[in-house]
Amino acid sequence: MLSVSKLNIYYGESHVVHDAGFELGEAESLALVGRNGMGKSTLLKALIGMIPARRGTILFDGADLKDLPSFRRVAAGLAFVPQGRMIFPQLTVEENILTGLETGRYRSIPSFIYEFFPVLRDMKNRRGGNLSGGQQQMLAIARALASRPKLLILDEPTEGIQPSIIKDIARSLNELKKELNLAILVSEQVLSFALEVADRLMVIDRGRIVREAHKDSLNIDEVRSYLTV
């Protein structure tokens, strides 16, 4: 479904991601792990089109998304939950979710969203900016799901969130994955979370993907050595 090859991303003149390549099939899940500053966010942002990729291809269902604006990639079936959530602080919770309907694949907010995140229903008339970090994270996921994506991309969803909520989010993601036949690509520093939500792990180090394997066949200690400073 998603096939990335030889992707190179620059910030100005500094070369951040080198020849990144990986495959992700329908309903598969893949975690991208690595330390801060190794290029995780950069790679994910380039996939959704928030920053440009200079060379390489991003094939999604056979079409190259590399030079399309973000909203066309969302129309193609990608959805993005960014680092820091980036919900719309001045819009109400309900309005935030409504922005995700833009693709037209759902005509109104699908009922499963409030079933998975009942707290969002309770708060649907509050402004997004007044929610706690964990609630904002759920809102960002709900907003992304409202576009009915085939592939959900999450950038460090556990950052700045209390441990009990992290467990909730992992559980929700696993159930959503099954229920919606959703593929997931998630970047993480918390290895336990990555192992919980993903079938496969991929390690990024200094802008290069250095390991990629199914989590059962992976040498966890070696992965951990990439994550510790």
Residues at the interface with another protein (CB under 8 A): 48-50, 69-71, 74-75, 79-80, 82, 86, 88-91, 95, 98-100, 102-103, 127, 129-130, 143-144, 147
Give the shortest CB-89-to-another protein separation in angstroms: 5
Nearer to another protein, 59 or 86 (CB): 86
> What's CA 15's distance to the chain center, in Å?
23
Residue 60 and residue 62: Cα distance in Å, rounded? 5
Nearer to another protein, 142 or 170 (CB): 142
Q: Please name the residues in contact with 171: beta carbons below 8 A apart, sequence gap of 6 or more.
A: none
Give the shortest CB-36-to-another protein separation in angstroms: 21
Under 8 Å between Cβ of 181 and 28: no
In degrees rounded to 5, what are phi and psi of residue 27? Answer: 60, 15
Mark 192-224 as b/e (b = at least 16 C-beta within 10 Å).
Answer: ebbbbbbebbbbbeebebeebeebeebeeeebe
Residue 198 and residue 31: Cα distance in Å, rounded? 6
Give the shortest CB-21-to-another protein separation in angstroms: 23
Which residue, 2, 179, 148, is CA-closest to 75? 148
Give the shortest CB-222-to-another protein separation in angstroms: 34
With H, G, I as helix, E, B as strand and everything else as coil, classify residue 97.
Answer: helix
Give the shortest CB-217-to-another protein separation in angstroms: 34
Nearer to another protein, 98 or 180 (CB): 98
Nearer to another protein, 144 or 203 (CB): 144
> What's CA 160's distance to the chain center, in Å?
16
Nearer to another protein, 143 or 200 (CB): 143
Give the shortest CB-100-to-another protein separation in angstroms: 5
Q: How far is CA 17 from CA 41, 91, 181, 194, in A?
A: 10, 35, 30, 21
Nearer to another protein, 45 or 177 (CB): 45
